[in-house]
A and B are shown apart, each in its own frame.
Chain A
Amino acid sequence: MEKPQLIKDGKRLDGRDFDELRPIRITAGVIKNATGSAYLEWGNNKVLAAVYGPKEVFPKHFADPEKAIVKCRYAMAPFSSLEEHGRAGPNRRATEISKVTREVFENVIMLEQFPSTEIDIFIEILQSDGGTRAAGITAASVALANSGIPIRDMPYAVAAGKIGDQLVIDVNKIEDNYSDADVPVAISPNLGRILLLQMDGNLTKDEFSRLLGMVEKAGTKVMAAQRQAIMEMYKQ
């Protein structure tokens, strides 16, 4: 398939600069039954995140007498993409993303305060346009804050990448299909801790260092969107 020209006159196909995020809008408290929830729109991505718990562990023998266990489901709706109907059920990609997302939140939730319980995090990608795991983590962070479950920090995530030789932030689907590197990163901002880092493609060490700098810079805007959702939550 012919690779489209993704960069023209120093701008990306959708008119963005290389380090420019798509618009992000987050609303907290959208699923009534959940302990906490958030709806996020990030460009064309539409994501719902919900948190349940702490609750009884199922099955019981998984319970940890010293802390809460976290379960996480990341899933894409079969109608979420511009391409063909998605196959039902968890695939290997979703299994891996669910695992690395769970690990992000295991780091920040104060699990030791809720021994022998379970905290569930559900992330449903209703519409997808690249960077959905970053969008899911960013939304789930707000859902957790909305739940009142104590957390040490509110992680955010950004999908960085490389198009040709150009480093870019917030890769969308068409860019992702033809990108030269794909680097989702989740950061716990208070302590500057990297909680999720995946990459495939090709990057030199120097390019990776510069990309991390771009992620941290973009992160201030993602955090601002998260904060605004929480401020609005208390206004109501």
Chain B
Amino acid sequence: MQIKGISKEYMSELLNRKERIDKRGFMDYRNISIKTNVIPHAEGSASVYLGDTYVLAGVKLDVGEPMQDKPDEGTLTTSAELLPMASAEYEEGPPSPEAVEFARVVDRGIRAAELIDMPALFIEENKVWNVYVDIYVLNYDGNLFDAGTLASVAALLSCRMPKLEGKEIIREGALPRLKTKGIVTSCTFAKIGESILLDPSGTEESFMNARFTVANDENYIRAMQKGLSGYFTRQEIERLIDTSFEKSKTLRKIVEEAVKSGD
């Protein structure tokens, strides 16, 4: 829920009392609900509600060329659209730096975790599968990074692997899954004054001066991104990394269950 007209003073008073507008603890997520295969025409898809943030990720696979530096692997392209319908603040036009950063942070987590088996996407010399992940933001209420990562990962884990018959790509029927490994999720924190909050809502994000995202799997940090003009200390960053490992256990379970129930 976007709450308008909250003053900076009220927000800092609230945070000083260790309270959030929606009564959550500082390190609590909002409700998360993931549905896979919501767009059956796409090879993979998932919608995510993170509180009132609503995003949809679709995956398509096409036959194309490899990257020059990785001739025997498939490719991954991740894009994000902040749709004009998703917020009164969003406008039509080419991707903003915010949208580019969002897509690239999600992309780095998936890529660094080696979620997709890229060598398995090799077809023949100069011919590989190109994987496209498109993230659609349908309703903005903060923390797009975590919602986008959840949606992209759930869509990839439930993605069909099309078949190439001569020149024709078979996208329907009995097809195996895209080959993937593990689950990567992210935790995003907002700093407002000296307070640090997990999973900031849209209202909270309007007051944040710094943002920090950690993407990880069971064992490793896979990607990090600090954003905005505020700062974090070394101690804060290290504490937030610990929190992200702790929180990711639940996130991985939610993704796993969503993929299972979408079968």
Contact = CB atoms under 8 A, between A and B. Distances in A.
Interface of A: 1, 84, 92-93, 95-96, 98-100, 103-104, 106-107, 177, 183, 188, 191-205, 208-209, 212
A205 B246 CA distance: 12
Interface residues of B, number: 37
B101 interface: yes
B7 interface: no
B229 A107 contact: yes
Interface in B161-190: none
Given A192-B234, A202-B112, A212-B234, A103 B100 contact: no
Given A193-B231, A204-B219, A92 B241 contact: no
B222 A201 contact: yes
A18 B96 CA distance: 38
Contact of B220 (A93, A104, A106, A204): A204
Contacts of B104: 92-93, 96
Interface of B: 68-71, 95, 97-98, 100-101, 103-104, 108-109, 111-112, 212, 219-234, 237-238, 241-242, 245
A100 B231 CA distance: 12
Nearest to A196: B226
Q: Would you list the 7 A-B pairs with minimal beta carbon distance, nearest first?
A: A106-B229, A193-B231, A199-B224, A202-B220, A197-B226, A99-B97, A200-B108
Nearest to A93: B104
Given A99-B97, A205-B241, A197 B69 contact: no
Contact of A103 (B108, B212, B224, B229): B229
A194 B234 contact: yes
A95 B100 contact: yes
B227 A200 contact: no
Contacts of B212: 197
A99 B101 contact: yes
6 contacts: A92-B100, A92-B104, A95-B100, A99-B98, A192-B233, A212-B234
Given A204-B219, A204-B221, A208-B241, A197 B100 contact: no
Contact of A107 (B100, B101, B223, B231): B231
A184 B177 CA distance: 36
A111 to B, nearest CB: 9
Given A92-B100, A193-B232, A199 B223 contact: yes
Given A177-B69, A209-B238, A194 B226 contact: yes
A195 B210 CA distance: 9
Given A99-B101, A200-B111, A209-B238, A193 B233 contact: yes
Contact of A205 (B223, B225, B231, B245): B245
A187 to B, nearest CB: 9
B166 to A, nearest CB: 30
Residue of B223, B234, B241 most packed against chain A (CB within 10 A): B234
B231 A194 contact: yes
Contacts of A194: 226, 231-234, 237
B230 A198 contact: no
Contacts of B111: 200
Contacts of A99: 97-98, 100-101
B258 to A, nearest CB: 25
Contacts of B70: 1
Nearest to B214: A199
Contacts of B232: 193-194, 197
A208 B229 CA distance: 22
Contacts of B241: 205, 208
Contacts of A1: 69-71
B32 to A, nearest CB: 24
A159 to B, nearest CB: 14
B5 to A, nearest CB: 19
A177 B68 CA distance: 13
